[in-house]
Chain A
Amino acid sequence: MATVTTAPLEALEESWYEPPGLISWFTTVDHKRIGMKYLVTALVFFVFGGIESLIIRAQLAGPNLHVVNPEAYNQLFSMHGVTMMFLFATPVLSGFGNFFVPLMIGARDMAFPRLNAFGYWVFLAAGIFLYSAFLIGHAPDAGWFNYTPLSDAKFAPGINIDFYALGLVFVAISTTVGAINFIVTILKMRAPGMSINRIPIFVWGELAMSFAVVFALPPLTVACVLLELQRRFGFHFFDAGSGGDPLLWQHLFWIFGHPEVYIIVLPALGVVSAIIPTFVRRRMVGYTWIVVAEMATALIGFGVWTHHMFTTGLPQIALSFVSLVSFMITIPSGVQIFAWVATLVAGRPVLKTPMLFVIGFILVFVLGGLSGVMFAAIPFDAQVHDTYFVVAHFHYVMVGAVIFPLFGALYYWLPKMTGKMMDERWGKVSFWTIFVGFNLAFFPMHIAGILGQPRRTYTYPGGLGWAVPNLISSVGSFLLAAGILITFVNWAWSLCRGAAAPNDPWGGDTLEWATSSPPPEYNFETVPTVRSLEPVWDQPELRDGAQPPEKGGRILLGGHLTLSTSMLDGRPRAVVAMPHATAWPLVATVGLLFGFWGVVFGAYLLAGAGALLFAASMVGWYWPKGETQEG
């Protein structure tokens, strides 16, 4: 074992060296580079999903238009939903999570770096798999919730739905391993002194999200596997004729589907709680309230799935119960909103771009929350269910609670990630364009819904009062797209021309601001000891990521090392060696991708070859290299 050398920094540099060049992006296990890959890939899928929605809006801009045919329309809106839920909203916040959770908790990597790389590759491969369906013209076309029997082989004989069922199982692998990785990282790798009451709220959000993933994804996976068995091999689960029941699909899907909303929203709420204290220059009011509220949301989210099924004819007693739970779940959200507002009132808001996005988010999220409460009033839900009112509601919640915090996070954190500042003026222009475009695009949908327009119709007749709100929506959606584009251009511009970002451009409170921008491979020269919830505000010695040993900074020389600490109070327990860069996760994923392609096309030989490649890469992955104890 090596001891502290005279040139510790050089030793650290050497242990954690990441070679430059393209190849290393394929083999890296560095959480920061993986986080960046997650972010960029998810944003690419966001653009795909966005283009799909713009085509949809063009088709619906007026009555009886013929931009696309009904089949293409059905594929577009199905893939829009699948893309935005599974390939954008969930992974994009995993991108920030991957980059910032280890930094915020003062660790040097995630708990399972190779699994982290694997999770990313599987996400990318699942995206490629789902989009390969478009290339052959058979993308899923039964909506993102894919109700049986419309998705059964009898009514959907093409392989469109096979792409859906297998693709969702595929992407669930990625999400699940990512979630387990977050849980272990957050529970076991926090810096010494970061007891459970000093965990940043963003990290709590990632933790709550991860627990929800672990418990919510299995029902979806089971539903998809059962559907594929029924479609492929004539099993019976969802067909009424042979003892099955179409409602079984709906139950399984929504047991996943409702928590999925919180899976997406919780980390985004965490982003809001990360940005607010920095820009109001005050500690967050009601830290404990917010944390408990997040956990309660994740928990109660499992009790309301049938509120997507209020019109299926369930017994009144079940409806009353779910109505009650649906009312209850708004309370944790209310708590968080009032905690944010209290902090705003107590502090002195500085309206930089990230803060604008946060304020925009609160307004939009309150509106989306209020229309959500309305659905708990079952008779009203039974009127607006499956209309554009619902479309308006969930875009207010999902777009409102993802896009606004996400773009706030881009302006807030990209300087840390890339080392370059974004342009503030264009940031504000982008915000106002997005804010106005968003409201123009989605507010009129409430009205269209109240006027009786059902969702998922590829066209509509004139004379029903639907044309005007639809036209406004279409115009707004293009404005929204323009606002988003401005930020992307701003990002690209910052990479070439942006001012160099200092360590702490905003005066933030959490540990990521204690290291350089971008952070070195090893994150911190010494693994810091934390004595406060806002360590960077309260511990001046932390600045520059090099807490001296006498203040508790641990340099950990002699390899790829990080600390394992106790779960509740963050006492150091052991020094853990982390694995180095490897291509096996990528190879394993390639095996899986060919496996899934083989199954979807019925080329079982190909599927077998893919499975073999996967098995071989597992052997390569775990082949002892005498450097880690992960085995």
Chain B
Amino acid sequence: MRTKEDPLVPTIPTGVPGERLRSVASGPDAFGWWGMWGLIATESLLFGSLLASYFYLRFRAGAGAWPPAGIHKPELILPLVMSAILWSSSIPVHIADQGIRRGRQAVARFGLLAGFLLGATFLGIQALVEYPKILKEFHPSTNAYGSMFFTITGFHGFHVVVGLLISLWAQMRAWQGAFDEHRHVTIQNFAMYWHFVDVVWVGVLFTVYLSPHL
């Protein structure tokens, strides 16, 4: 395992006599950090629009008609288990993000791996257990309720897939030793994205699974 313990931040002369500035940036000095916030902002609005559409149709449908007759209110045990798995995946990712800032390669590598496995478990349960169970009762073209259910959860699932792909990339680079305490924008950005995917699931869980019971 290669660890880089260089106490000096790399710097570069700017041309102004005697001035040197850092030549690597992370956190708010890195453009990528801001870019990721931009992405998260616009993605939040995507989810927000979907959830708002859900509630719009729900209130148009009126009391007692949501879910429509013939469809049960969603069961909660499995979704709550899935939620626990997904949210817990943020912990190792956070540990990896913090670890690499202190140059701890192993923490970063295994943290990312653990996060990946938990995320993949969530996705596996959704695709192989939750969806087949729901599809027995209704499907996306049954009615607006079914369309909304599958569109919102599917859209979130798509984000998990993208997150897993980015995680694979970050893990590959981590095992190559590309990151250290100065250079870790990739892990930092992946962690931000992953936490976003987890946080947005709060909204999805509340809207799709909990709100019909209210």
Q: A: which residues have CB within 8 A of B?
A: 1, 3-4, 8, 111-112, 115, 176, 179-181, 183-184, 187-189, 214-215, 217-219, 221-223, 226, 229-230, 233-237, 242-245, 248, 251-252, 255, 526, 549-550, 552-558, 561, 563-564, 567, 572-577, 622, 624, 629-631
The 5 closest A-B pairs by CB, nearest first: A243-B144, A180-B38, A555-B15, A218-B45, A234-B141
In the complex, what residue of chain A is closest to B179 when comparing beta carbons? A631
Given contacts A243-B68, A574-B22, 20 further A-B contacts (CB under 8 A): A111-B31, A115-B35, A181-B35, A183-B38, A184-B38, A218-B43, A218-B45, A230-B147, A233-B140, A236-B146, A242-B143, A245-B57, A549-B17, A550-B17, A554-B14, A554-B19, A558-B12, A567-B28, A574-B21, A629-B25
Are A576 and B39 in contact (CB-based, < 8 A)? no
A-B pair count, CB < 8 Å, reads 169
Are A237 and B147 in contact (CB-based, < 8 A)? yes
A248 to B12, CA, bound (A): 55
Stretch of B47-55, B115-123, B195-203 that contacts chain A? B47-55
CB-CB < 8 A to B43: which residues of A?
A: 218
Are B143 and A221 in contact (CB-based, < 8 A)? no
A243 to B61, CA, bound (A): 6
Are B141 and A233 in contact (CB-based, < 8 A)? yes
CB-CB < 8 A to A112: which residues of B?
A: 31, 35
**Nearest Cβ in chain A — how far from B190, in angstroms?**
11
Are A242 and B151 in contact (CB-based, < 8 A)? no
In the complex, what residue of chain B is closest to A217 when comparing beta carbons? B42
Give the residue among B48, B147, B151, B186 with the most A Cβ atoms within 10 A. B147
In the complex, what residue of chain B is closest to A230 when comparing beta carbons? B147
Ordered by A's residue number, 30 sampled pairs between the chains whose C-beta atoms are within 8 Å are A115-B35, A180-B35, A180-B42, A218-B45, A221-B46, A222-B46, A226-B151, A229-B151, A233-B140, A235-B141, A237-B53, A243-B57, A243-B68, A244-B147, A252-B53, A255-B49, A552-B16, A556-B14, A556-B15, A564-B25, A573-B21, A574-B21, A574-B22, A624-B176, A624-B178, A629-B25, A630-B31, A631-B32, A631-B185, A631-B186
Partner of B147 from A229, A252, A526, A556 at Cβ < 8 Å: A229
CB-CB < 8 A to A526: which residues of B?
A: 15
Partner of A557 from B15, B35, B50, B176 at Cβ < 8 Å: B15
Task: State whether the Cβ of B206 lies closer than 8 Å to any Cβ in chain A.
Answer: no
In the complex, what residue of chain B is closest to A220 when comparing beta carbons? B49
Quick one: which of B137-153 are within 8 Å of A by CB? Answer: 140-141, 143-148, 151
Are A575 and B29 in contact (CB-based, < 8 A)? no
Are A631 and B173 in contact (CB-based, < 8 A)? yes
CB-CB < 8 A to A181: which residues of B?
A: 35
Task: State whether the Cβ of B34 lies closer than 8 Å to any Cβ in chain A.
Answer: yes
**Interface size class, chain B:** 35 or more
CB-CB < 8 A to A631: which residues of B?
A: 32, 173, 178, 185-186
**Nearest Cβ in chain B — how far from A269, in angstroms?**
23
Are A214 and B38 in contact (CB-based, < 8 A)? yes
Are A243 and B13 in contact (CB-based, < 8 A)? no
Task: State whether the Cβ of B30 lies closer than 8 Å to any Cβ in chain A.
Answer: yes
Are A561 and B12 in contact (CB-based, < 8 A)? yes
Contacts A218-B48, A575-B12: A622 and B144 contacting too (C-beta < 8 A)? no
Are A574 and B68 in contact (CB-based, < 8 A)? no
A573 to B22, CA, bound (A): 7
Contacts A112-B35, A573-B29: A219 and B16 contacting too (C-beta < 8 A)? no
Are A218 and B23 in contact (CB-based, < 8 A)? no
CB-CB < 8 A to B148: which residues of A?
A: 237
A111 to B185, CA, bound (A): 15
Quick one: which of B35-80 are within 8 Å of A by CB? Answer: 35, 38-39, 41-43, 45-46, 48-50, 53, 56-57, 60-61, 65, 68
CB-CB < 8 A to B57: which residues of A?
A: 237, 243-245, 248
Are A222 and B31 in contact (CB-based, < 8 A)? no
Task: State whether the Cβ of B24 lies closer than 8 Å to any Cβ in chain A.
Answer: yes
A622 to B183, CA, bound (A): 15
CB-CB < 8 A to B35: which residues of A?
A: 111-112, 115, 180-181, 184
Task: State whether the Cβ of B131 lies closer than 8 Å to any Cβ in chain A.
Answer: no
In the complex, what residue of chain B is closest to A255 when comparing beta carbons? B49
A251 to B49, CA, bound (A): 10
**Nearest Cβ in chain A — how far from B70, in angstroms?**
12
Are A187 and B151 in contact (CB-based, < 8 A)? no
Are B25 and A184 in contact (CB-based, < 8 A)? no
Quick one: which of B145-203 are within 8 Å of A by CB? Answer: 145-148, 151, 169, 173, 176, 178, 183, 185-186
